[in-house]
Amino acid sequence: MDERRVALVTGTSGGIGRHLSEHFARAGFLVEGCSRRPAEWEVDGYHHHLVDVGDEGQVRDMFQSIRRRHNRLDVIVNNAAIASMNHSLLTPGSIVDSILTTNVKGVFLVCREGAKLMRRAAYGRIVNIGTAVVPLRIEGEAVYAASKGAVETLTRILAREFAEFGITCNVVAPTLVETDIIRGVPREKLDRIVASLPIKRLATFEDVSNAVDFFVRPESDYVTGQVLYLGGA
């Protein structure tokens, strides 16, 4: 069996997930990725799963596949998320259900199944992608921000539960990144958000991978339950 380290990244059809997958592959990891759609890109060492992270059966099947092929998992980055930016008065309950299912239940299920596999080696690094929208409290993002606030709390408690298995669990919370998820946000609003930040620009993919790298390093075994907001948010 291949002795290379294995990383799982969720939400890899594009954006941050694709960048992180390529980043880990370049660093010598075998990369397992998933999304509801096929990945329309390729990189050596990458294996794609068609998975809805909010579906417990699909998540279990994906981890069974990873366990059978690699029997190890070193890193998880929970990146899969959906957003719907709209005023609360115009947000249907079905959208709330979808956001919470993917952004909260999905993270929980992947952490749970991942920790089962990681505990075999008494080692693991889990990084959940949050958002600086939580402290920025941006209008129109109530449900998305609430779901990511839940991810922060989930992470802090999982950090305690998983500590005895040698697994750390942290959050990287970027400011807005140029991805599909903010495609619907008007430029004027983006400019206002950026103007309110100490560092006046959007986050880049490299900003995210740099912070993820810190949490993932073996030397970061004394860093857990932390939320790192980028850009000074």
Three-state SS at 119: helix
The H or E element that residue 65 is part of is helix 56-70
189 binds other proteins (CB under 8 A): no
Residue 229 catalytic? no
Using a 10 angstrom Cβ sphere, with 0-12 exposed, 13-18 middle and 19 or more buried, the burial of residue 86 is: middle
- The token duo for 85 is 């930016």
Q: Which of residues 127-186 bind other proteins (CB under 8 A)?
A: 164
* C-beta closer to other proteins: residue 164 or 188: 164
* Candidates 46, 123, 144, 229; catalytic one: 144
Minimum CB–partner distance for residue 136 and other proteins (Å): 37
64 binds other proteins (CB under 8 A): yes
36 binds other proteins (CB under 8 A): no
Give every CB contact of residue 67 below 8 A, 6+ residues apart in sequence.
117
- Which amino acid type is present at position 210? N
116 binds other proteins (CB under 8 A): yes
d(CA 85, CA 75): 30
122 binds other proteins (CB under 8 A): no
Minimum CB–partner distance for residue 57 and other proteins (Å): 8
User: Count of residues binding other proteins (CB under 8 A)?
Assistant: 5
d(CA 208, CA 149): 18
Active-site amino acid positions = 144
Binding site for other proteins (CB under 8 A): 60, 64, 116, 119, 164
